[in-house]
Every structure is written in C-alpha cells, then in structure tokens.
Amino acid sequence: MRTLGRRAAVGGIAAGLAAPAIATAQAWPAGPIRIVVPFPPGGSTDAVARLAAPGLQAALGVPIVVENRAGAAGSIGTGVVANAAPDGNTWLLTFDSHAVLEALLPSLGFSPARDLAPVMHIGGAPYVLATKPDKPFRSIADVIAAARARPDTVSFGSTGNGTIGHLAMTLFGQRAGVKLTHIAYRGGGPAVTDAVAGVIDLVIGSAAVLAPQISGGRLRAVVQMGAERLPGLADTPTMQQSGFDGFVAEAWWCVFAPARTPAPVIARFHEALLAAFRDPRVVETMTNAQQARLVLSTPEECGRFVARETEVWSKVVRDYAIRPD
C-alpha cells in the first residue's frame, strides 16, 4: 500500500507540474505575436519573416508583427528574444551569423545555446558573389587576377562581420592568396543597394537576396557557392567547378523561442510555421524567386544543425581573429 501511495503521490506531482504548461498552451495565443528579425529591412531574413507572417496569422488567429532590431552582428535582436518572457509571444527568426555570435562577441551577455530553444530550420540558399554588370569581373579568376595586380583595392560588401558570407570570402582570400577590402554592412538591403550603385566592386549574399537583382539585370553573378548549380543560375559555375575543391557556403534561416517556452506552445507554433511555409505561393517564392531550399525541420533537427554550423564557422572566426563591425 505504501508503494502505491508513493506512486500516486509522484503521479500527482507530475500532473501538477504539467498543468501550468497545458493551461498556457490552451490559452495561447491570446494576443499579438512578434517575430524579431535581428537585421534591417530589405535583407533575406526580413523577407522570409514577412513571407511567413500572413500564414502564421491565418493559422493562429492573432496579429503577427515583424520587428526589426538590427545591430551588433544580430546580437541586439537576438538578445531581446533571449531575455523575453517564455510566454509564446516573442520569437526569433534569424540568419546564419547566429552560429558565431559567441565566438564573435565573447562578452555577449547571454548564451544562444542556453537561453534560446530551437524551433525550426526553415531552409537555406547558397551564397553568391555578384557585381554590377559594368564591372570587369565575369569569373572568380577575374577577381583573383585583379586582386593580385592591385592588392587591397578590390572591395566586396557583406551583410556584416561574422556572417557566413564574410567568413567564406575570408577563406577564399586565404586559399587564393589574395587580399580584398571588406565592407561590412548592417544587412543585405544596404549591401545590395551599394553594389547596384557601383559603390563596391562585389557583393556576397545569399541567392535569396541577390536573385531578384541578378534576374533583373542590375547585378551579374560571378560565382555561386553551393554544392551544385542552382536552376536559376545555370550559367554560373560553383566554387568547386572553379578550382576550389570542397568550397561550399550556404546561408540559412532558423526560428528560436526563449528558453523555457512550454513545449506545447513550441509545438503549436511549429505546426503554424509548417502551414505557412507549405503554402504553394510561399513555396513558389522561396524556391523560384529566391532560389532557396526549404528544409522545415523539427526542433530537434534544428538544434543539431545549428550545433554543427556553430562548430564549423566559429573555428573560422577564431582562426582569422574576426571581430564585430
């Protein structure tokens, strides 16, 4: 009888602990939900968030507000979510630089791994190096030749220090034995604007952010960094096809919640994300207009993916002493 009593007591305690989470999930959502994008408007991360917002609003029945909180390599907006109440009202939709925040900013003040819960790896797109059509760079060989002839004069813009695009160009310079001048922007929008205007020689950005400019003739692709050529850039070789074996760099987008957000709330938001990104119009925009590859992972898969990316690219940050903007 005593053993049965203990079991009953344990069961009662477990039920009591689970009750608040269940109640929270049943009551949620009760008001507007904000999705924090830690970069300015105009870049691919902002575009992905705004593409998902109507579907999320339809699935959850509450207003979805996309809030841009840019600065410090994405750490300002990320910190807003890491320190937010775990009530399901604040979420983070971020970019690949998330993987190197702690390596890039040792005094960050929060831990992405400890203070955020993975929700979904939405997908990714290979990085592309592009230029204004009247610039003389038609291949990566042209870039190398110009950089060797005039060291430190060929400029490229990225979406910020520590983004995978910046790190990929750092590795390229080391492997090619050339020195380029890096111009760090606070997001994809400003970098693309200056590239189109010819202020910088080259821009490194995800296919998602550069594809509209390339298809519209405002930029010309020089090389792409995926494992294989994108259908929309069939005439542009990959880095591997250009003599750089094993050279692959992809941008990606993931969603996170504040740590300790109840699992049932995360599960319901994940379900709403699936519905939003499976909408045929969204799929068309992501895969064709933005040349992105949808993944739509589980939270567990997202956590493992980000851990791998963190290990690979944080090493580059440390090896080359990359510092924030």
Tokens at 206, concatenated: 């995800």
Q: CA-CA distance, 143 to 180, in Å (whole number)?
A: 9
Question: What whole-number distance in Å separates Cα of residue 230 and Cα of residue 248?
Answer: 13
- Considering only CA atoms, which of 298, 258, 301 is closest in space to residue 274? 298
pLDDT average, residue stretch 16-43: 77
What is the radius of gyration, based on Cα positions, of the chain? 22
Predicted confidence (pLDDT) at residue 20 exceeds the cutoff of 80 = no
| Residue pair 20/86 in contact by the 8 Å Cβ criterion | no
Structure tokens at 191: 């970098």
Q: Tokens in use for 66?
A: 């996309």
Mean pLDDT taken over the chain: 91
* Domain limits, the chain: 32-124+251-319, 126-242
**d(Cα 247, Cα 239) in Å, to the nearest integer?**
6
Residue 93 near residue 270, CB atoms below 8 Å:
no
Classify domain 32-124+251-319 by CATH number.
3.40.190.150
Q: Residue 137: which residues within 8 A CB-CB, separation 6 or more?
A: 131, 143, 146, 201, 202, 222
Stronger pLDDT, 17 or 45, i.e. the higher one? 45
Q: What pLDDT does 325 receive? A: 64
CA distance 31 to 149: 59
The pLDDT tens digits for 227-266 are 999 988 999 999 999 999 999 999 999 999 999 999 999 9
Q: What is the pLDDT of residues 155-200, one digit of tens each?
A: 999 988 888 999 999 999 999 999 999 999 987 889 999 999 999 9
Place of tokens 């510092």: 323
Q: Which residue has the higher pLDDT, 187 or 138?
A: 138
**121, 306 Cβ separation under 8 angstroms:** yes
Count CB neighbours of 197 within 10 A: 10
Beta-carbon contacts of 278 under 8 Å, excluding residues fewer than 6 positions away, are: 296
116-144 b/e (C-beta count within 10 Å ≥ 16 → b): bbbbbbbbbbbbbbbbbeebebeebeebb
Look at 39-43, 209-213, 277-281 and tell me which has the smallest mean pLDDT. Answer: 39-43
**Dihedral, CA atoms, 276, 73, 198, 49, nearest 10 degrees?**
10
3 pLDDT tier (thresholds 50, 70, 90) = very low
Greatest alpha-carbon pair distance for the chain in Å reads 88
Q: What are φ and ψ of residue 183, in 5° steps? A: -115, 115
Average pLDDT over residues 296-301: 98
Please determine whether the domains at 32-124+251-319 and 126-242 fall in the same fold group of CATH.
Answer: yes
Q: Is the pLDDT of residue 113 over 90?
A: yes
Residues 64-111: tens digit of each pLDDT: 999 999 988 889 999 999 999 999 999 999 999 999 999 999 899 999
Torsion of CA 164, 170, 171, 176, to 10 degrees: 140
Query: Which two structure tokens, joined as six digits, stand for 145?
Result: 């030749």
Residue 15's H or E segment, with its range, is helix 2-27
CATH class of 126-242: alpha beta
Question: In DSSP terms, which residues pair with 35 in a beta bridge?
Answer: 66, 91
Q: 88, 272 in Cβ contact below 8 A?
A: no
